[in-house]
Structure 1
Amino acid sequence: MIGWIIYNGHLPSKKFINFANWIKDAGLNKGIQMETVKNNHVWVELGTNISGVINDKHLSTPNFVIFHDKDIALARQLEQSNIPVINSAAAIEICDNKITTYQQLTKDSIPIPKTFVAPKIFEKTEKVELDSFLIIENYLSYPFIIKEAYGSFGEQVYLIETRQQYVDKINELKGVPFVIQQFVATSYGKDIRINVIGGKVVASMLRKGNGDFRANVNAGGSTEPYSPSPKEKALAIAAAASVGADFAGVDLLFGENGNPIVCEVNSNAHIQGIYESTGINVADYMIDYCIEKVKGMKDL
């Protein structure tokens, strides 16, 4: 059996190659021939009566691909070439855009913070009609959250405490899709990361911010092992299923009365941090799932 792990070849952070190597080692330990592949070494080829992919490494066609990137066109083309892609192009596309994620979760009655999708503003708009944005003050009190639709590691999430901050951020984000969201004060600086693989919870940790409203480790937070309640487990599994993710890092907030709320669903969740916190190697579960999925498809 041959597996590829595709990651983005132009991202400078070592996190992405480390993730790919982590998965590769887990596959090799199971006797699978694993290849780490940069997305820029696999090209989509299209033309009259031509549809497929080419690679410059002369790699053998894989039995499955673990797709740890957001190159959705490439993921979709691999699927059209009848190669199992995990996560699917559709799941990656939903999770990549927070607006699409929240729309999908709402469609499936998954609890999320109250969320408003900001109207589209073109980047070259000279003057924003700011009064139209003040309607939000009738539905949310300060502070509230603004999240850019595209972003990772909590870096595009902003706590808005005053009208002036709100107006300034709207002007700053001109041309950027974003949502305005209820601030869940009961979860200030803490959340739960739950890793779901194939509809099962395999690992979980509590994340705490270091004086920051965000709990992301990249923002200076810390982690510790966490045993989720049956309700938290069920919600994480339901959220992953809602977006169609085989693998997901589901982030839950502590709502009022201890009721969990979905903050985000990550289709490309990193796994080294949860290993360092819990000692659980999520990569092993990912490889086991891929093996069973490929075998199941052969039996059809």
Structure 2
Amino acid sequence: MKKLIVVNNPKNWKFHVSEVQVVSAKDYLTNTEFTKMRNVRVFNLCKDYSYQSKGYYVSLLAEARGHKVIPNVKSIRDFKAPAVVKNISEEIDDLIQKSLHKLTGSEFTLSIYFGQNVSPQYLELSQELYRQFQAPLLRAHFVFKQKWFIQSIRPICVNEIPDSHLEMVDQFAKEYFDKNRFSSAHTDDYLYDLAILVNPEEKEPPSNAKAIQKFIAAAEKTGFRVELITKKDYHRVGEFDALFIRETTNVNHHTYAFARRAQSQGIAVIDDPDSILRCSNKVYLQELMTVGKIPAPHTIIAHSENRHELSKQIGFPMILKAPDSSFSMGVVKVKDEKELQANLDKMFESSDLIIAQEFTPTKFDWRIGILDGRPFYACRYYMAKDHWQIYNWNSKNEDDICGLFDCVPLDEVPHGIIKAALRVASLIGNGLYGVDLKEVNGKPMVIEVNDNPSIDDNIEDQIGGEKVYLTIMHSLRRRIEERMNSAQQRLLQHHGIDSYIL
């Protein structure tokens, strides 16, 4: 990936950084050579990022050209938003107090050069502020009123660095631009950067280790350089062209925050935040299916007012589901009124609404994998031994926790199953979904839609093999290029911008 440092005047650039081209803001904005470039990372070090300044337009047009830029326009806007600065100050309050507690004055200014400071005692605070604001050169102003807090933070230009700091900043710059995330020995082999969000500590992740390696291989074949990231890398989302979430998602969770950040920065993301929001709450899904007239087991949204009517309307045995249940957890079967009311009491402690559903026993559940409105795998999951669910988390025998499974060629899946899966998925979006269904008396019944479906080695890929992984990677690449083409078309429509800038 080619690296560009954009400054107002290259003659003022004072640092010795290898394999990086230093160009003027004027050249970057007006020279068509840069408009045509692909696979570029831009470091915007202009002296002014104010609205409609050269520095602002460098980041704006970099995004329109599909270049990865630091800082991006969202970060630039955050500098000017007192509410954002206040929120971040509150989020990292403990670190601020720990770092500044020895100071005796009422004001303090911290200069942050490529995520570092000339004084080691402020290194942790400097790194955190860089992670939050993503600008190579920053200056934060703190004030003390009962405790320290950030009053303002802004990017600075090279000319604002004191001469006494230049030698150390030169070393910081070398370390910063030499980082692996900005370069690769195989630079010419890849077009885009992909982050795969995983949780090494998760007991039942959506993809096992072998499947993750297959995703990486498919991504590299599709033109991606791949990096596995974890929740601690939230600040780095903007460094990538695409984000693929392979950690169990939830709205009240960092996975949703990752998806939101990626979407807000125009980064291709699976799962997108809208799909997470819609699929992770079964109350929402039930209402959606009712309005869309999707075939499903008899279901009622239970609350304090109708809890004593459920047995009459549904009967026993009855299934109760917490709104955010997943992998069969948070789902219980009750056999009589006593069990029903006891479980409702417990479940109402965490949610005002619960799903109550008729029990529809079958030997297996269908799972249809759908992406971009098309099915791309079909799997049958059989019930766990001597249990009514696919998973039996109470089993003492580890081999009996989950049931058997097999994949089925799509052309052998009952037509009604595919049709119902596509119908319900279309109500949610065009993301990656795993639609769970039962077939009762020859008719499909949709149970739920998962935004983060399991794709494990030698399970969901039994029939499709490598194609399962390539399908997802091709979708991510297409999303990137569609966004780039759309942005470039908008840019052409406003091609008169250069005369105003200069």
Q: TM-score with structure 1 length normalisation? A: 0.82
User: Which deviations, in whole Å up to 9, do the C-alpha atoms of 1:64-92 show, x marking residues without a partner?
Assistant: 21133332233112211111222210111
Work out the CA distance in 2 between the residues paired with 1:108 and 1:38.
37
1:212 pairs, out of 379, 387, 405, with 387
Structure 1 SS opposite 2:228: strand
Residue 294 of structure 1 corresponds to which residue in structure 2? 480
Aligned equivalents of 1:6, 1:92: Cα separation in 2: 15
Q: Percent identity?
A: 20
Q: Which residue number corresponds to residue 251 of structure 1?
A: 436
SS in 2 for 1:166: helix
**How has the CA–CA distance of structure 1 residues 169 and 184 changed in structure 2, closer, same or farther, with 3 Å as cutoff?**
same
**1:63–1:294 CA contact under 8 A, matched in 2:** yes
Change (3 A) 1:14 1:191: closer
Partner of 2:27: none
Give the letter for the 2:225 counterpart. Answer: Q
| Matching of residue 284 in structure 1 with residue 470 in structure 2 | yes
> Is the contact made by 1:203 and 1:280 (CA closer than 8 Å) also made in structure 2?
no
In the superposition, relative to structure 1, how do residues 79 and 14 fare at CA in structure 2: closer, same or farther (>3 Å)?
closer
| One-letter amino acid of the counterpart of residue 426, structure 2 | A
* Cα deviation, residue 135, structure 1: 0.7
What SS class does the counterpart of residue 151 from structure 1 fall into?
strand
Q: Over the residues paired in the alignment, what is the CA RMSD in angstroms? A: 2.4
Aligned to 2:357, which of 160, 174, 181?
181
Distance 1:91 1:253 in 2: 22
Instruction: State the structure with more CA Rg.
Output: 2
- Write out per-residue CA displacement over residues 71-127 of structure 1, whole angstroms, 9 at most, x where no aligned residue: 22331122111112222101111111111122222222222222222226xxxxxxx
2:294 to 110, 115, 118: 110
The 5 Å alignment of 1:91-102 reads: 91-102=275-286
Partner residue, 1:37: 229
> Aligned residue for 1:223?
405
- More off after superposition, 240-249 vs 277-286: 277-286
State the alpha-carbon separation in 2 of the partners of residues 217 and 199 from structure 1: 32
User: Residue 65 of structure 1: which of 237, 243, 262 is its match?
Assistant: 243
The equivalent residue for 1:153 is 327
Which one of the candidate residues 366, 374, 379 is aligned to 1:192?
366
The counterpart of 1:24, out of the listed 216, 231, 234, is 216
1:138-178 Cα offsets, whole Å, 9 max, x none, are 21111111111112211221111111211221233241332
Cα distance in structure 1, aligned partners of 2:324 and 2:200: 19
**Cα pair distance change 1:134/1:277, threshold 3 Å:** farther
Q: 1:237 to 1:14 in 2, by over 3 A?
A: closer
Q: Determine if the alignment matches structure 1 residue 133 to structure 2 residue 307.
A: yes
Please give the secondary structure, in 2, of the residue aligned with 1:77.
helix
User: Could you tell me which amino acid in structure 1 is paired with residue 415 of structure 2?
Assistant: P
Instruction: Write the distance in 1 (CA, Å) between the matches of 2:292 and 2:256.
Output: 23
- Normalization by structure 2: what TM-score? 0.50
Runs of 4+ in 1 over 6 A off after TM superposition: none
**Any unmatched runs of 5+ in structure 1?**
43-53, 121-128
Q: Secondary structure at the match of 2:259?
A: helix
